[in-house]
Structure 1
Amino acid sequence: MTRMRATATGFIAVLLWALLALFTVGSAPVPPLQLTAMSFAIGGAIGLLWTLLGGGYNRLRRVGWKVYAFGTIGLFGYHFFYFSALRLAPPAQAGLIAYLWPLLIVLMSGLLPGERLRAGHLIGGALGFAGAALIILGDGAELGAGALPGFGLALVCAFFWSGYSVLSRRIGHAPTETVAIFCLATAVLSALAHVTLEQTAWPDSSIGWASVAALGIGPVGLAFYVWDIGVKQGDIQLLGVASYAAPLLSTLALILAGLAAPTPNLLVAAALITGGAALAAWASTRRSSDAPIQT
């Protein structure tokens, strides 16, 4: 697979994550950790079925336990710390801090063998973060000091996902089928955390159940498989900057569904995110980005 095609495949994850908020709203009143367990169970089961039908069982057997531990810690750790941060700090501010992960991917990817971090990637990442901030903090809220534990957990969350994404490149030999095991293990750990920290609540309508299923198939299913391909074989800096399109597209999806109202900030945010992605893409074209990745 060429670098360009792998990058495009990874961007499918960003498009799917744009539907995360819409389906999460539709799944109410299911609490976060229970929803994580349910959706990851669906995503993992589908991935495992795909693996077995495709004859990938032997590939899974050849993967060491450290790879499975790494993937599970990455997926579960991100979601656990994200939801914990939202419990201890205002959601908008905590969400913005957590959304430092695309910029951290851009910065950390410069340490990878064969990768070169350019000024266009850094500036593009900063513009994307500014655009995301306009959306997430659209009500004019400021980062206060009253919920520092929550803000700290949000920062840990950002490092978890960026670290998972960048280090996935270092274990590029591990087949994408391993993500199915990551998802199933994350479902089990999320279920245990749910039983400990939350009250169980099931969807109370057909729309609710459909939203849970859609989450497991898309944003918490297919998204992680295509993201794995993108970060292992694609342009990881460009993917990092392009990830700032997720909150923009998510807001647009909510507006189209009648669950949010358009604001002037949205146009400015769109310009910043689009400009940042374009700048990062220009920086990436300065190298032979369409050369096949040797694995």
Structure 2
Amino acid sequence: MTRPRATAVGFVAILLWALLALFTVGSTPTPPLLLNALCFSIGGVLGLIWTWASGGLGQLRSVPWTTYVFGTVGLFGYHALYFSALRMAPAAEAGLIAYLWPLLIVLFSGLLPGEHLRLGHLLGASLGFAGAAVIIAGGGSTGFQADHLPGYGLALLCALTWSGYSVLSRRLTDTPTSSVAVFCIATAIASAALHLVIEDTVWPDGAFGWASILALGLGPVGLAFYVWDIGVKQGDIQVLGTASYAAPLLSTFALVLAGIAAPSWGLAIAALLITGGAALAARASLRR
């Protein structure tokens, strides 16, 4: 697969993750670890079916166990933190803090062999960060509030976890994408085990709650991982990281359309900053 095509495949994940916050809110009041278990069970089973149909089951035997541990920790850690953050703080604000991971990907990727940070990357990342800051400061549904700090702190850990996972995945280019299915199944098992120990079981509220969980498992917590794996391993990780600034914008729009977050002028200003930053950083990579 060519680098531009792999980058385009990675863009699909960004579109799917734009719906992550909306469906997470729809899954209320299911606790985070149970939500993890349900969603990753769906995504993992679908991945195994695809792997079997494509004749790739044999490849899974050659994957080192350390790679399986790495992938499981990445998926489990990010989503356990993300679901918890959105249960402890307003969805718009917590989601946007979690979406600082594109900025971190662009910066961290400069440490990879063969990659270099250019002025355009830094300026684009700065514009994207400024756009997210505008929304967090006053363009979201409630603005910043001190009693939501625990949720905001978990959201920041989300950003660090996913950016680290994405950048380090670049060093696993020989690992087949089908291994993501094993990551998902292992994450579901670990989440279910911890849920039984530390959480009360609360099932989704009605048909809409179950539909939200199904949508999460099929898209943002399913297909998104497989296409993202292709993108970060074979595509332009700096373009993907910066273009990911569109995800918080699209996510906020989805929350506004659903009536969960209120629209504001701050959203329009952030839109210009985010899209302009993504275009600037993408141009810097393309000029290479």
The alignment covers a number of residue pairs equal to 286
Looking at structure 2, the residues matched to 257 and 6 of structure 1 have their Cα atoms a distance apart, in angstroms, of 32
Name the residue aligned to 1:219: 220
Greater helix share, 1 or 2? Answer: 2
Percent identity of paired positions between Structure 1 and Structure 2: 70
Q: Deviations over 1:47-71 (max 9, x none)?
A: 0110011110111111110110110
Q: Give the distance between the partners of 2:205 and 2:258, measured in 1 at CA.
A: 20
**Long gaps (5+) in structure 1:** 288-295
2:32/2:84 contact within 8 Å kept: no
Equivalence for 2:46 = 46
Whichever residue aligns with residue 271 of structure 1, its letter is: L
Give the match's secondary structure for 1:199: coil
| Cα deviation digits, residues 185-233 of structure 1 (max 9, x gap) | 1111112232233221112322221111111000000001111011001
User: For 1:107-165, what per-residue CA distance to the aligned partner results, in whole angstroms no more than 9, with x for missing partners?
Assistant: 11111111121111111111112212223342574485x78776655444322211110
In 2, distance between residues paired with 1:9 and 1:211? 24
Partner of 2:15: 15
Structure 2, unaligned runs of 5 or more:
none
- State how far apart, in whole Å, the 2-side matches of 1:25 and 1:236 are: 29
Code of the residue aligned with 1:62 in structure 2: it is: S
Distance 1:273 1:9 in 2: 21
1:135/1:248 contact within 8 Å kept: no
Partner of 1:70: 70
Supply the distance in 2 between the matched residues of 1:205 and 1:12 (Cα, whole angstroms).
Answer: 29
Note the C-alpha offset of 1:85: 5.3
What is the rounded CA distance, in whole Å, between the counterparts of 2:107 and 2:207 in structure 1?
Answer: 43
CA distance in 2, matches of 1:179, 1:191: 18
1:99 deviates by 3.0
- Measured in 2, the distance between the counterparts of 1:148 and 1:263 equals 22
Correspondence 1:135 to 2:157: no
Amino acid at match of 1:190: S
- Which position in structure 2 is the counterpart of 1:198? 199
* TM-score (normalizing by structure 1): 0.88
Q: CA RMSD in A?
A: 2.3
* Residue in 2 that maps onto 1:291: none
1:1-295 to 2 correspondence within 5 Å? 1-84=1-84, 95-137=95-137, 138=139, 141-142=143-144, 153-287=154-288
Q: Distance in 1 between matches of 2:242 and 2:199?
A: 35
Cα 1:83–1:206, aligned 2, differ >3 Å: closer, same or farther? closer
Report the AA paired with residue 171 of structure 1.
Answer: L
Tell me, in whole angstroms, the C-alpha distance in 2 between the residues paired with 1:95 and 1:258.
16
Measured after TM superposition, the shift of residue 73 of structure 1 is: 0.9
Per-residue deviation, 1:285:
1.2
* Cα pair 1:95 1:136 within 8 Å, conserved: no
CA distance, structure 1, for counterparts of residue 253 and residue 12 of structure 2: 17
Identify which range, 191-200 or 40-49, moves more after superposition.
191-200
Question: Contact 1:93–1:143 at 8 Å: present in 2 too?
Answer: no
Deviation at 1:44, TM superposition (A): 0.5
Partners of 1:169 and 1:235 lie apart in 2 by: 10
TM superposition shift of 1:100? 2.7
In 2, distance between residues paired with 1:259 and 1:86?
12
Q: 1:263 to 1:91 in 2, by over 3 A?
A: closer
Distance (whole Å) between structure 2 residues aligned to residue 192 and residue 124 of structure 1 = 42
Answer yes or no: is the 8 Å Cα contact 1:125–1:240 preserved in 2.
Answer: no
Give yes or no for contact 2:25–2:86 (8 Å, CA) kept in 1: no
Q: Work out whether residues 135 and 247 of structure 1, in 8 Å CA contact, stay in contact via their aligned partners in 2.
A: no
